[in-house]
Amino acid sequence: MRGERGGTYYGWRIVAVAFLTHCLTVGCVFYSFGVFFTPLLHEFGWSRAQLSWGFSSISIFGALYSPFVGRVVDRYGPRPSQLFGVVVLGTTFMLLSRVHSLWQYYALLALFLSLGSSSLGPIPSNTAVAGWFLRRRGRALGLATAGISMGGVVFVPLAQTLIERVGWRGAFVAIGATVIAAGLLPVALVMRKPPKELAAIERGTPGGPFDLAAELERSVTAREAMRDRNFWLIALAFSLTVMGLSAVLLHQIPLLLDLGVDPSHAALALGATAGVGVVGKLGFGALLDRFEQRRVIVACFLLQAMGLVLLPFARVPAVLVAYVLVYGYAMGGNATLQATILGECFGRLHYGAIAGRMSPFIVLSQAAAVPFVGAIRDRTGTYTPAIALIVVLTLAAALCISRLRVPERGTRAARAHATSHDVAARAAAAGRAHPGTGGDSSV
C-alpha cells in the first residue's frame, strides 16, 4: 500500500480507528448486554420485556441524537464527536454498576449510553471512512465495520469471565474503563476530516479527477435524499433487518438456555457468531466492490433468513454450528452493506447528514423489536413465533432492496468531464497542503 511519496495512505489509519470505535460501541454494547441479561434477571426479578425496554431505550434516544451527530460530523469532522462519545460511553458503563432500581437502569441507558454510542459509533466512523475512500469504499467499510463483530469476539467472553469472577457490577466497571483506555488516544491522534478533493490523491491515477467530478455531481444533500425513493426503500429494508438482528443478539443466550444449551456454550456460540461476522464483513465488503450492490445485499438478507430458520432447533450441536456459520456470516455483512449503499446512491459529501436522517427510522424499529420479542417469550413461553416473524421481515427487506434504482458510476461523468482538470489542480494543491495523506494507487 505504497503511494507516490512512499508513504502509507492515511485513509487506512482512519479505517483502523473506525474498526476500534465500532468494536467499542456497537460490538461492545449490543453483544455484551446479552451476557448481562440473565444476571440482571436473577438479581432484580425484572421481566424479559422490562429488561428489553431498557436496551431499546438506547435506540429510541439514539434516534433523537443521530441527526444532530450527523450534522456535527459533517461540519467539524469525526474527532470532536468521538472524543466526547468515548468519555460518555465508558463513564456510563461504570455507573451501571451502581444501579439498584429499574428507573436508574432506564435513565442510564436512555440518556447517556445512547448518547455515548451515537457520538462514538457508526455515524462518525462510517462518515470518516466513506470520506477517505471512493474506489475501494466497500472494502474499506468492510474492514472498519468488522470491528462490530470483533466487539462480540472480545467482549462476550470478557463479560462472561468478569461476571463469573467479580460479579456483574464489577464487570460493568471493568468494561467502562476498557472503553476509555482503548478509545481515547487513537481517536485523538488519528481521526480527521479528509481534504475536499481527496479522491484524485487517493487514486493516484489519470482517471482520478474524472471520477471525482462525477462523484461530486452525484452527491446530494440530506433534504434532497429524503425526496428520493431510494432513501425510503433503504430505510425500510434496513429497519426490518436490524429489528431482527438486535432482537436475536440480545435474546440469543436466553433462547439457547431455554433449549437446554449449557450457559458457557451459549456464551461461546454468541462469541463465535460475532467471530464469523468478522469474516462476513470482509467478504461482503470485497463483493460490493466487484458485483452489483443490490444483488449482494439481497443475497445477504436471504442468508440471514436461512440462518434464523435453524435457530429454534439449535439444541442439536450440529444445527447450532450451522446457525453460527450461516447467520454469523450474513449478519456480519449488514452494517457494511448499509454504509456502502448510502454512499453509492447519494455520494459522500453529505454522508453524515443523510445517515443521521435515516438512523431514527432504523433504530426506532430496533427499539420496538427487542421488547416485543421479549414479550412474546413471556406470553408464549417460547421464542419460536418471534423467530418466524423475523424471518418474514427479513425476506420483506430483501424485496425492498430488489426495487432499488442504484445509479451506476460514470453515468453522469460526461457532464462532469468539463470540470475534471480544475478538480485535478485543486486536488494537487490539497495534496501539498496535506502531505500526510500520501498518494496510494492501490486504494
318-337 per-position pLDDT tens digit: 999 999 999 999 988 777 78
The single-letter code of the amino acid at 363 is V
Q: Which fold has domain 11-407?
A: Growth Hormone; Chain: A; (1.20.1250)
Residue whose C-alpha is closest to residue 351's, from 363, 341, 362, 360: 341
Q: What percent of the chain has pLDDT over 70?
A: 84
Q: In a 3-state reduction of DSSP, which class is residue 208?
A: helix
Residues contacting 227, CB < 8 A, separation 6+: none
**Structure confidence at residue 435 (pLDDT):** 45
| Higher local confidence (pLDDT), 425 or 40 | 40
- Asked if pLDDT for residue 92 goes beyond 80, the answer is yes
234-278 per-position pLDDT tens digit: 989 988 998 888 888 878 888 898 888 888 888 888 888 888 888
- Contact in structure between 183 and 58 (CB atoms under 8 Å): no
- Contact in structure between 119 and 65 (CB atoms under 8 Å): yes
Phi, psi of 206 (to 5 degrees): -60, -30
pTM exceeds cut of 0.95: no
Q: At what angle do helices 351-380 and 384-402 cross, to 10 degrees?
A: 150
Local confidence band at 370 (pLDDT 50, 70, 90 cut-offs): confident
**Structure confidence at residue 9 (pLDDT):** 82
